[in-house]
A and B are shown apart, each in its own frame.
Chain A
Amino acid sequence: MRLLSRTTLKQARAAAGRVTDPELPMLTLADLGVLRDVDVVGDSHVVVDITPTYSGCPAMAAMRDDLVRELSGAGFDRVEVRVSLDPPWTTDWITAEGRAALAEAGISPPGPAPSSDGPIPLTLQPMARQVRCPQCDSPATELVSEFGSTACKAQYRCTSCLEPFDHVKEI
């Protein structure tokens, strides 16, 4: 029985691990750090914990539906998707594979997230980041806007090859 449940858990994790992010389809939810836990709690009953990137992330329902579809397809009769708010998502949870996939897709991966303990100091200058162009690898880039095509990205432009690109904001 023990061996069986371990195999089942492995299957559940593999199935959940295949689900990709609806807005960053080059990344799995696991690579994005949004998939927090997968557990088989009973006969054919799997519980998945996901966490939102931002409070208003509109993709949560699509993620849930995709997880239910994938796990049902893998033979699980009951799939429960729970929201985990604490600890809050941080870009530090994006895996090395995830960062490579982002860069490959022309999206600049985030640097280390700043500490968000204590009072958060006011920043009147544009965020100082070392961002390299994902197209030509030039370090000569400039911030266009802190708010990009989705809540989790900022807009940059490369002053060498002149291509605009998205950068995943550190939070």
Chain B
Amino acid sequence: MTDHIQTPAEDEHDSAYAGLLVNDAHWAFGTDFEDPLAGVDTTIPEGVDGPTLAVYALMLGDDALVMSHRVSEWTSRAPDLEDDIALSNISLDLLGQARLLLARAAKADGSVVPVLPEGSPAPPEDALAYFRESHAFRNVRLAELDNGDFAEATVRVLLFSVWRLAIWERLRESRDHVLAAVATKGVKELAYHRDYAARWFVTLARGTDESRARLVAALDLLWPLWPELFDTHPVEAAAAASGVGVDPAGVREAAEAVLDQVLAAADVPRSEAPRRAGVLGRTGRDGTHGEPLGRMLAEMQSVARAHPRGQW
């Protein structure tokens, strides 16, 4: 039997394992292991307050991170392979946007980054993603709800991307080089997301009685969170005033004009469901979230938190 035992190749070029023996250990839980803004001019523009820019970038980044995670939960569960791939791609685009924006936040004001145990190789954007409590997240509440059926995913991606695209079309003019560059790139991606969801919206609305009923129910479910997207948080107002951010209130008309085109093509009226109130007036931008975000973060963060020095 000893004849069959393979001896390791003497010459490492003959060994299939040689390439695996290089010591390239890196942080175990992130999307990557290098500064995504390496070589990008991250100077804070003159007259701009670093902490304001950081929190503003966190808001945009948290929207993308939380929405990306929810959309990624569709991977392997979508109605067919094409839509599985489409939703996974949308999730990936948003994760890329999140990574750049969280890295930008960390560069603008290092004090927003949680302090990790000594020796942790986690880069700042991953420290922000994995080691903050839910009250430190600044995402809008629309992004964090538990997933529903495919109609719900369609409506959520539509509302989210119509709104985000309207903001990002203006963010291309930001005085902050990083935000301007991220937005210029991101608008192309968001336009694909919006149009994908808009086509499914029309298809489901004009499909069967069942598909239409589910779509209308999803619109009624999510509509109460639409107005919150256009509230102006003081940080957004300050970012807009200094020329680095966009006041969401100022894009409402443009966003609703696009949404109305989709509703008209689908022959679905706007929902009449009333706005969901905040908690003592506080909403997602203030760090006030519903239970679903806590559960989502528990799942997303638990392994990284258990092994803050994890390498592989």
Out of B31, B185, B192, B194, name the residue touching A85 (CB < 8 Å): B185
A149 cross-chain contacts in B, Cβ below 8 A: 85
B230 at the interface (CB under 8 A from A): no
A147 cross-chain contacts in B, Cβ below 8 A: 82, 85-86, 88-90, 192, 196
Task: Pick from B92, B177, B180 the residue with the most CB of A within 10 Å.
Answer: B92
A156: shortest Cβ distance to chain B, in Å? 12
Establish whether residues A84 and B40, one from each chain, have CB atoms under 8 Å apart when the complex forms: yes
B188 cross-chain contacts in A, Cβ below 8 A: 88, 116, 120, 171
Q: Chain B interface residue count: which class? A: 35 or more
Stretch of A6-14, A26-34, A50-58, A98-106 lying at the B interface = A50-58
Q: Chain A interface residue count: which class? A: 35 or more
Establish whether residues A122 and B261, one from each chain, have CB atoms under 8 Å apart when the complex forms: yes
B17 cross-chain contacts in A, Cβ below 8 A: none
Out of B33, B83, B189, B258, name the residue touching A54 (CB < 8 Å): B189
B123 cross-chain contacts in A, Cβ below 8 A: none
CA distance A22 to B90 in the complex (A): 21
A29: shortest Cβ distance to chain B, in Å? 16
Establish whether residues A60 and B39, one from each chain, have CB atoms under 8 Å apart when the complex forms: no
Establish whether residues A52 and B198, one from each chain, have CB atoms under 8 Å apart when the complex forms: no
Out of A57, A61, A87, name the residue touching B34 (CB < 8 Å): A61
Smallest Cβ-Cβ distance to B40: which chain A residue? A85
A66: shortest Cβ distance to chain B, in Å? 13
B99 cross-chain contacts in A, Cβ below 8 A: 55-56
CA distance A123 to B89 in the complex (A): 19
A82 cross-chain contacts in B, Cβ below 8 A: 38-40
- Do A146 and B192 contact each other (CB < 8 Å), given the known contacts A82-B39, A119-B254, A124-B265? yes
Establish whether residues B86 and A56, one from each chain, have CB atoms under 8 Å apart when the complex forms: no
Establish whether residues A124 and B31, one from each chain, have CB atoms under 8 Å apart when the complex forms: no
Smallest Cβ-Cβ distance to A118: which chain B residue? B169
CA distance A20 to B151 in the complex (A): 40
A144 at the interface (CB under 8 A from B): yes
Establish whether residues B180 and A86, one from each chain, have CB atoms under 8 Å apart when the complex forms: yes
A64 cross-chain contacts in B, Cβ below 8 A: 34
Chain A at the B interface: SS class: loop
B178 cross-chain contacts in A, Cβ below 8 A: 85
Establish whether residues B93 and A151, one from each chain, have CB atoms under 8 Å apart when the complex forms: yes
A5 cross-chain contacts in B, Cβ below 8 A: none
Establish whether residues A85 and B265, one from each chain, have CB atoms under 8 Å apart when the complex forms: no
Establish whether residues A83 and B196, one from each chain, have CB atoms under 8 Å apart when the complex forms: no
B79: shortest Cβ distance to chain A, in Å? 12
B88 cross-chain contacts in A, Cβ below 8 A: 147
B186 at the interface (CB under 8 A from A): yes
Chain B residues 164 to 208 lying within 8 A of chain A, measured CB to CB, are: 165, 169, 177-178, 180-182, 184-189, 191-192, 194-196, 198-199, 202
Chain B residues 85 to 132 lying within 8 A of chain A, measured CB to CB, are: 85-86, 88-90, 92-97, 99-100
B296 at the interface (CB under 8 A from A): no
A159 at the interface (CB under 8 A from B): no
Establish whether residues B169 and A58, one from each chain, have CB atoms under 8 Å apart when the complex forms: no
Establish whether residues B96 and A54, one from each chain, have CB atoms under 8 Å apart when the complex forms: yes
Establish whether residues A55 and B185, one from each chain, have CB atoms under 8 Å apart when the complex forms: yes
Smallest Cβ-Cβ distance to A147: which chain B residue? B86
- Do A86 and B177 contact each other (CB < 8 Å), given the known contacts A54-B93, A56-B95? yes
B300 at the interface (CB under 8 A from A): no
Out of A56, A83, A88, name the residue touching B39 (CB < 8 Å): A83
Establish whether residues A151 and B89, one from each chain, have CB atoms under 8 Å apart when the complex forms: yes
Establish whether residues A124 and B195, one from each chain, have CB atoms under 8 Å apart when the complex forms: yes
Q: A82-B40, A88-B185, A122-B195 are in contact. List 14 more A-B contacts (CB 8 A).
A: A54-B96, A55-B93, A56-B31, A82-B38, A83-B40, A85-B182, A86-B40, A120-B165, A122-B258, A124-B261, A146-B192, A147-B88, A148-B85, A151-B92
List 22 A-B residue pairs with CB atoms under 8 Å apart, sorted by A's residue number. Answer: A54-B189, A55-B100, A55-B185, A56-B96, A58-B32, A81-B38, A82-B38, A82-B40, A89-B185, A116-B188, A116-B191, A119-B254, A120-B165, A122-B194, A122-B195, A123-B195, A126-B199, A145-B83, A146-B86, A147-B85, A147-B192, A155-B85
